[in-house]
Structure 1
């Protein structure tokens, strides 16, 4: 739960006086001893957080520093794993030598991917619950919002500082992790079919997707906190909201791509069907038998036949002359990610608009 630390007037005056005294002393010393001490004066004037931005950072500095530290540690681990992968590929003779012959060694690195993606896919849920839900609910619950409303700072400015600083930390963290993970995965991305690029471990952790999902989770949690005004209750509800968001995203993400359909060369009814070949890294959606009239039948058709002659007779009776396959090639991955992320960004903008135009009335 976030706590409010009100900066006292004395504290501010003390800081101001020390800064002014330091500046004045630095100027005097510079005139006496030359330009050597001017560096001290310039250092004391370096940019610092102030006003509402300083207050919001101080309120949530524990959460912000935890996110930054976790991002640095995770990025460092991924960089180390990337080095291990490149050493293996160089020693293996990749790409001249196919990775299909080294499944056991390659699988070790795939397992390393899995261990990292488990944590990366949980980031939207964790930040939504631990950062988003208490972001405003904590101030509403302990009365800090009333104290701020009584000051000269407007509620809109306070809300902008809250959402802006939290959003900045989230964007920097997720962009960093998305970039380094994509860099780690890139040597195998289009060359090894053993990786399912449509899985949440790869699709949801690269490109703009993690940024979009995390921002919606955090700002959605903040909106839930404004409505419920209780931190613990808001965290529980936000947990359900973020879990539902992940489920809905996982259900509809494949509809973001354009399905490609290929059919095999037609054969005579009853002859063995040769299935068409699709790109190695493509995601297969559906396989069907194709009849002479163009009708699609399930591939389980005629599986109940006990003998080869019975199967041939069954397929001839069903008029099966070929096969059809539906798939999405990996070349559509970036387009699907940006299309889906744009929808999520639009929803996030709607949540932010609610907080500024409707939720602002509840911030007291």
Structure 2
């Protein structure tokens, strides 16, 4: 049985206070999780990481995000949700946008509901050191002082914010063969939202042209009728009608576009930033274990990456020379320098060690043919990886 291609990334980054919870009153609380040892660790949710990936890719010009015209509100009252427009789905144009192609979607408006399992699965990032309940007290004293001079009172709006600066680790699994391809299910008379309102689906027909087979989608709203065509950027891979439900399978025509999308995702991860509370945190990996798997089961090494707490000690002699009236004096001072620094170890891993700037070159291997199971460790120069843990 043929197996899919996978890219697996186990990453470590360094950051400070990256994801706050709802909190209560004037206390700003970090998201936390309790692990097997009974201690609490701070958490950066996968939703926060996904948001930062899309934000970073958008700012760097790597991804084009969907405009408001392609989004709709579905539901009523407090149950209203924002989701891609049904027209966007039916024509296949939804594949033009990496945020839906890579990270999936749920469209509740159609019957049956349409969802896409994310080809790019991002795990929560969990701190590698326990949270020690560090916090600091803040107040809006500058503005409050100015108000006091004018109004005779001062309300500085005090609040306390938790802080945790440490290393975090998380994993990303990319199902390469699921990118650039979707399945759509929709029944007759299902709602289809366009810019000028809601229509009912009347029928979907396969039509032929010089450009090949495509779909013609017929809609109706009262006496008004409208026809929309399949996107020119996708090809029709499969189309059938089972009872009153249409099943459509689209795929992006350009394989190079799919490859570029994957490479842009890798660039985003390697240069990931997170803007939070007037800070711009750099979440680019300090250590990354990357595996390429083709026609073979994939593995993750996330739980094998260990942060060691070690001291380094250096001893040396300093010689100081002084001229005096009685002649020259030499002073020899023996100095011992102790420094505490993080050391990482990847337990039981046999992999090649590569420079962090070789990541994109390494990923190119997933697009070749034949069985593949290759793992490499990429290390930032600012971090020490214990010898023998990677080779």
TM-score by length of 2: 0.23
Q: Which has the higher helix share?
A: 1
Q: Under a length normalisation based on structure 1, what TM-score does the superposition of the two structures give?
A: 0.24
